[in-house]
Amino acid sequence: MMILRGIKNFPKHCKTALVSIWRNGVMSFSSIFAVTITLLLIAVVMTIALNVNKITVNIENSLTIYVKVDRAATEEQSKAIEPQLKALKGVKSVKFSSKDQELNKLIASQDKNNKKLFENYRNDNPLGDAYTVEVKNVKNLDSVAKKIEHIQYVNEVTYGGSSTNKLVKILENIRNGGAIFVVALIVVVLFMIANTIKMAITARSTEIAIMRMVGASNWYIRIPFMLEGAFIGLFGAIIPIIALRYGYTFAYEQLTQMMGAGLVAFVSPFPFVYKLSGILLLLGAGVGLIGAFFSVRKFLKL
Amino acid sequence: MIKLENVTKVYKTGVRALNDVSLDIAPGEFVYVIGPTGAGKSTFIKLLYREEVATSGKVFVDGQDVKKIKNWKVPYFRRKIGVVFQNYRLLPKKTVFENIAFALEVTDTPKVEIRKKVRRVLELVGLEDKANAFPHELSGGQQQRVAIARAIVNNPKVLIADEPTGNLDPDTSKEIIELLEKINEVNQTTVLVVTHDRDIVQKYKKRTIRIEDGCIKTDTSLGGYNI
């Protein structure tokens, strides 16, 4: 019964809410503006955070230990390293690359002029054999690398671990700092909307007094104000969504072109943009509803 | 219809507005409540429509213990009581018809029924031809009639009028009281009029309750102001 009434009165309540937004022009506008700024920042921070996350996962998954074998080692001695590597705890896979393969890789990575230069080394290869070791958990990268150093005929062990970890940590800090910033902004917006609704209530206090006098239920009085808050939130989400839709697709294309297809791959714009837009709409409407609810509550104490 | 049992009301500020008041008003009665300003008249009627709750003692309206009504049920309780104020409290941007219909809209009355009921009540207060006028186009007496129409359109069991003639000239005041009498007779509504107006109380003699310093000083069915 209550729900049916709610649906029946919904258009009327919506109209009341929109008229009230219009009549409280400046206050409504400043609230909508505050929501817009907040949601824009939230969109930016979330976009960065999700991309950082994706890149971090990518980097972590591709972290390997590069093991150079001593040139002095004979072929058998070199081959003997493989089972030792495999026996280490936490090692996922081991890949062997002979010194000739290593040279081929080196030559392939050079430009034309240098290629000829390096071709000369074909006869007397200065490189040694090498192993590429993948670990099960990136956290064990350090300890596994240390153990490998102690294996006989291992010349050099390199891995991008420590510097990459540092980068990831910095990015994480940026993300967390952003999150705190966004939460603070949401609180500010909550108060802004609550204040706007308070003004709207004051402007209509006679009407509310009469409504209460003739026996309007609390929800009947409350719903238009809550809708007003929700509308302010929704209006505030429009610009951030447009900015996200075009801004992110543009930034994605530019950055992807710049970086090429490699380790640093970004979150593709679709359906990411739609999902984040949905979140922004919900956030705007939710903050509006809650802000309005709290400011109406004070006026309806009987 | 209305019953007070040893009711005391002390406001948070420490003001003792009512002190151990007991009274009984039967259904269909017409009662004046008189007394000097600040005597507790307003507190008395606020207790009846539960704008305030008694500090101690019991208030019954239509057999219901007002204190026991849950907060969210208060609006439904209010539909049993019509209230009229000195300053009319009409919505300036709504027509006479809309102002009266407003009381029915918020209680989810079907549109057809709203039209029927509003027309009937406009006829009762004698404003059939003013349905589409705005409040500012009406005289004070006419505005008070609209307010009365709005208060009774729900067919309340009790009609409370707080200084209904406070802003009106003597002739118009008489018309308003006559209208309240008519409502009392036609609808059998219990009517409670809080007033300062000596002439009215003298002319239309009804049961009169005088409140002074938070107590009932006199309560007589003889009527008249100087009792």
Three-class HEC string of chain A:
CHHHHHHHHHHHHHHHHHHHHHHCHHHHHHHHHHHHHHHHHHHHHHHHHHHHHHHHHHHHHCCEEEEEECCCCCHHHHHHHHHHHHHCCCEEEEEEECHHHHHHHHHHCCCHHHHHHHHHHHCCCCCCCEEEEEECCHHHHHHHHHHHHCCCCEEEEEECHHHHHHHHHHHHHHHHHHHHHHHHHHHHHHHHHHHHHHHHHHHCHHHHHHHHHCCCCHHHHHHHHHHHHHHHHHHHHHHHHHHHHHHHHHHHHHHHHHHCCCCCCCCCHHHHHHHHHHHHHHHHHHHHHHHHHHHHHHHCCC
At residue A1, does pLDDT exceed 60? no
pLDDT (tens digit, 9 = 90+) per residue, A231-267? 988 998 999 999 999 999 898 888 888 876 666 678 8
Lowest model confidence (mean pLDDT) among A186-190, A245-249, B19-23, B46-50: A186-190
Chain A contacts in chain B segment 108-127 (CB below 8 A): 108
| Residue B150: closest C-alpha in chain A | A214
Least confident of A44-53, A219-228, B152-161: A44-53
Identify all chain A residues contacting B79, using CB atoms and an 8 Å cutoff.
Answer: 214-215
Which of B45, B49, B104, B105 to probe by mutation at the A interface, max A CB count within 10 Å? B105
pLDDT value at B181 more than 90: yes
Cross-chain Cβ contact B78/A302 below 8 Å: no
Q: Between residues 204 and 233 of chain A, which touch chain B (CB distance below 8 Å)?
A: 206-207, 209-218, 220
Judge whether residue B96 has pLDDT over 90.
Answer: yes
- For chain A, percent of residues with pLDDT exceeding 70: 90
Interface touch B106/A220, C-beta < 8 Å = yes
Q: Is the pLDDT of residue A226 over 60?
A: yes
Determine contact: B8 vs chain A, CB below 8 A. Answer: no
Residues B108, A216: C-beta atoms closer than 8 Å:
no
Residue A73's pLDDT is 80
Give whichever of A4-13, A212-221, B127-136 has the largest mean pLDDT: B127-136
What is the reported pLDDT for A168? Answer: 66
Mean pLDDT of A285-296: 85
Q: Which residues of B touch A296 (CB under 8 A)?
A: none
- pLDDT exceeds cutoff 70 at B214: yes
Taking only residues 180 to 209 of chain A, the set having a beta carbon closer than 8 angstroms to any beta carbon of chain B reads: 206-207, 209
Is the pLDDT higher at A259 or at B77? B77
Maximum average pLDDT range among A90-94, A228-232, A288-292, B187-191: B187-191
Residue spans of the domains in chain B: they are 2-220
Q: Pick the residue with more confidence: A95 or A243?
A: A243
**Contact criterion met (CB < 8 Å) for A215 and B72:** no
Residue ranges of domains in chain A, CATH in brackets: 2-59+165-299 (no CATH), 64-159 (3.30.70.3040)
Rounded average pLDDT over B35-64: 90
Residues from chain A that touch B76, judged by Cβ atoms under 8 A, are 215, 217
Q: Does domain B2-220 have CATH number 1.10.3720.10?
A: no
Residues of B in contact with A6 (CB under 8 A): none
The reported pTM is 0.68
- Which of B71, B103, B108 is nearest residue A214 as measured by Cβ atoms? B103
**Partner residue opposite A210 with nearest CB, options B74, B77, B89:** B89
* pLDDT range class, residue A3, cuts 50, 70, 90: low
Backbone angles phi, psi at A133, to 5 degrees: -110, 125
A and B: number of Cβ contacts within 8 A? 50
Contact B74 A302 (CB under 8 A): yes
A164: confidence class by pLDDT, cuts 50, 70, 90: low
